[in-house]
Amino acid sequence: MGRINWLRLLSPLLLLVLWETTARLLDSRMLPPASAVFRALGREILAGTLPRDLAITLGRVAAAFALSMLLGSALGLAMGRWRAVDQFFESWLTILLNVPAVVLIVLLYIWFGLNEPAAIAAVALNKLPATAVTIREGRRAIDRDLSEMAESFHMTRWRTLRHVVLPQLSPYLFAAARNGLSLIWKIVLVVELLGRSSGVGFRIQVYFQLFDVTSLLAYTLAFILVMQGFEWSVMQPLERRANRWRP
Amino acid sequence: MERDAAARTPRQPVAPVMLSVRIRTKRFAQRDVLGPLDFTLGAGEILAIVGPSGCGKSTLLRIVGGLDPDYDGTLTWSDGRIPRIGTVFQAPRLLPWRTVRQNLELVTPSGGDAGDALLHRLDLWPVRDAFASTLSVGMARRLAIARAFVIEPDLVLLDEPFVSLDETMAIQARQVLLNAWRQRPLSALLVTHDLVEAAALADRILLLSGSPARPIRTLVVPPDLRRAGGSAALDLANEIRQALGDHFPGDA
């Protein structure tokens, strides 16, 4: 276990060393060294622009994530539970799953304008079908014997959902949440790049126009660090807690 | 021998009737699996339903437990209302992500003391905070029995509750059940394919044929043998087996 933890630490450190060495050897504006990117990161943090943009982007990620998880899970549960609902929404999901993310974003901007609700709806709609499909499979895998046990002891619907159904769904919920986060933050950047005047995506577009690769990488790095921090501090402890009963 | 067994075949239980079951037929996948079937259960009586494996005994319990409304027939409860029913399923059906105590609390949110007393009595107190996923087969079965009794039922449905236990553990588990019954006598339907188990626990034994399950005979366990267990139950089981001869083939 200790060896595995060391490897986990060693791997990104090695990547940084590799990056720094290669950049110094190439000595090109196209690939600034890691040290320069970290200096730029510090500068942007002190100036206050990066924290502000990061907060705005994270707000959008959170809103789109909550919306897609809530609606996607509800739809997936209903589709897994009732065959008629499944048959009705099956084609909708297939369409949504196959429309390119950027097409949905552009269409929503055209139909509803370059505003915040359109941006968040575009991101949520991109993620919703995958969540619904995952949760539908989870609902189908629910142990009928346990549901029957709950029924025989006259457990209320709410108690059954909370104590019998949701624990069985938790692996599917975590899978949907983890995939969702990794997908959503990427789409949020595209949404910001295409039609917002704030956030990390917008800033990346500005630095792209200025050909400032150092600042561009500083913003990307900051966002990756925040998302990784969320994975370590929230997702993994939650998942460990949900799985602590497994022998 | 046959005359003795037949002599103990009254039509009605001695205790007042709690439930009258009249099932004309129960079909499953275009096939009759049960019926016609007509019997009564007395208040405070343990009625064993014995028949070959797969004859529809569990289906009968599901019907009585209200889990399968799709049948042609009637259930008539003596006071016109469905009593509180505790079920011990063939598999324990515990929630593995909840502790032993939490499995009981789930079915009795306000019955903590009764649950604790049962855990003591069933020797589960030392593992009260262990997840159900970590229990041995015997412990899981005892917890399933505790869960059925913690709701203070008027009727317990027991679907082969001791199957897959080794003989020593099965005897212990039967004793646990009888102790629980002595604490608070209640009606019970015990489904089993084991005549010894039926003779060791029941007041009466309803023998069913192979699928579709129909009654072959109802036998009263003599009062002096009732819940005596051990060799007395074995003797009675052998006596019944001999009396029935070819009427009761299979593994019973």
List residues of B whose CB lies inside 8 A of any A CB.
65-67, 85-87, 89, 91, 93, 95-98, 106-107, 131-134, 147, 151
Closest CA to A72 of A54, A97, A48: A97
Give the residue from chain B lying closest to A167, CA to CA: B97
Q: Looking at residue B232, what is its pLDDT?
A: 67
How far away is chain B from the Cα of A245, in angstroms, using its nearest Cα?
5
Q: What is the pLDDT of residues B151-181, one digit of tens each?
A: 888 899 999 888 777 777 777 777 777 777 7
- pTM of the predicted model as reported, rounded to 2 decimal places: 0.78
A167 at B interface, C-beta within 8 A: yes
Peptide bond into B36 cis (omega under 30): yes
Peptide bond into B212 cis (omega under 30): yes
Output the CA–CA distances (angstroms, integers) from residue B38 to A38, A190, B41, B214, in the order listed. Answer: 83, 71, 11, 9
Residue B152, classed as helix, strand or coil, is coil
**CA A144 to CA A142: how far, in whole Å?**
6
pLDDT profile of chain A (247 residues), mean per 10: 71 90 90 93 92 93 95 94 94 91 92 92 93 95 94 92 93 91 89 90 92 92 87 88 84
Verify whether the Cβ–Cβ distance B65 to A152 is below 8 Å: yes
pLDDT less than 70: residues of chain B: 1-15, 109-112, 223-233, 242-252
CB < 8 Å to B131, chain A: 244-245, 247
A164 at B interface, C-beta within 8 A: yes
CB < 8 Å to A245, chain B: 96-98, 131-133
Q: Looking at residue B166, what is its pLDDT?
A: 74
Which residues are CB-neighbours of A132 under 8 A, at least 6 positions away? A72, A73, A75, A76, A79, A89, A93
Q: Looking at residue B143, what is its pLDDT?
A: 92
**CA B247 to CA B252: how far, in whole Å?**
11
Q: Looking at residue A29, what is its pLDDT?
A: 84
Chain B interface, mutation test: which of A153, A160, A241, most B Cβ atoms within 10 Å?
Answer: A153
Output the CA–CA distances (angstroms, integers) from residue B154 to A159, B157, B181, in the order listed. Answer: 23, 10, 11
Residue pair A49/A203 in contact (Cβ under 8 Å)? The answer is yes
CB < 8 Å to A163, chain B: 95, 98, 106
CB < 8 Å to A246, chain B: 133
Verify whether the Cβ–Cβ distance A167 to B97 is below 8 Å: yes
Of B85, B95, B133, nearest to A247 by CB-CB distance is B133
